[in-house]
Structure 1
Amino acid sequence: MQQHAYIKLVPSSKQQSITTDEVKQLFYYYKDITSKTGTQLGWEYEQSAFPYSLEEKREGKERWFYLKGTDKQKYKYIMVGLDSEVTEGTNTSYIQVTLPEGFTHGDKGKANEFCKFMAKQLDGELHLFNGRVMYYYKRK
């Protein structure tokens, strides 16, 4: 069964909308900083921290892309899409992270890690796979 997590860009977030290229840049930034951590530790941490390749299909251009696992026994796929919803008269953009049928425990762990990283970078509101909400923006 599929599972979904959402990173909502609320009025207190750093930005109110986002593109697929900006989300991809967040993943590249994550990959870059984890590889630097590995260099400091003297360990090839990059492959363990980001065991996926970013792939995009023509029909999903500008709307969604997916992460394909490089180690098929531990990691399969994570899908990342963009959308928006109208709530209380305001348009709220969000990033949807989907674990497709047959996902592994490794996929879910990495998806949670990536969601928390992106929500923190964007000062967003994270709705986790288990339904809980984490607030990464300053609340009044």
Structure 2
Amino acid sequence: MSKTAYIRLVQGSTAPDGLTLDDLQLSLHAYQDAVRRTGFQLDWNYEEAAFPYSIEPVTPPNESIPQWLYLRGKASRYRHIAIGVGTADTSPSLETVNSTPYIQVVLPDGSTHADHAKANELCRFIAERLKAELQLFNGRIMYYNPRK
């Protein structure tokens, strides 16, 4: 059964109005750059071990714009992770319209424990970078946004 984590862009986030897949892809490239620099300091090709995925945009059959990013594993321990963006209606009444942008990270059926661990790490990195609220796969919530 697939598992899902959410990164909600709440008030105080660096992008409270929402993200596109391009912005999300930039966050993934920032993660790759950070591990590349760590590997340079350690004199080791750490990037291949820290991000063993290729990033592929996924376009639904009847649409022309990609809706998801599919991370396909390059190593045998890693299989796949899917990441998408969207908005959720959080208005308590019908009179006001409040929508909260979010990033959804899905571990499809067949994902390994290594995928689960890497998805948690990516979620924490993206949530910290965006100062967002992170709901992990187990339902626990981590707050990276400034709260008063």
TM-score (norm 2): 0.90
* Conserved? CA contact 1:8–1:94, under 8 Å: yes
CA offsets, 1:37-59, max 9 Å, x none?
00111111000110000012332
State the aligned residue count: 139
Tell me whether 107-116 or 9-18 shows the greater mean CA deviation: 9-18
Mapping for residues 1-140 of structure 1, pairs under 5 Å: 1-16=1-16, 17-59=18-60, 61-71=65-75, 73-88=76-91, 89-140=97-148
TM-score (norm 1): 0.95
CA distance in 1, matches of 2:58, 2:15: 26
* Conserved? CA contact 1:19–1:62, under 8 Å: no
CA distance in 1, matches of 2:112, 2:86: 25
- RMSD of aligned Cα (Å): 1.1
Tell me whether 13-22 or 84-93 shows the greater mean CA deviation: 84-93
* Conserved? CA contact 1:69–1:75, under 8 Å: yes
% identity of equivalent residues: 45
Larger Rg: 2
CA offsets, 1:88-140, max 9 Å, x none?
34110000000000110000000000000000000000000000000001111
Structure 1 stretches of 4+ moved >4 Å: none
* Aligned residue type for 2:121: E
Give the superposition deviation at 1:24: 0.2
Point out where structure 2 has 5 or more consecutive residues left out of the alignment: 92-96
* Aligned residue type for 1:99: L
* Conserved? CA contact 2:128–2:144, under 8 Å: yes
CA distance in 2, matches of 1:58, 1:97: 16
CA distance in 1, matches of 2:59, 2:109: 22
- The 3-state SS of whatever aligns with 2:7 is strand
* Conserved? CA contact 2:132–2:143, under 8 Å: yes
CA distance in 2, matches of 1:96, 1:130: 14
CA distance in 2, matches of 1:57, 1:116: 23
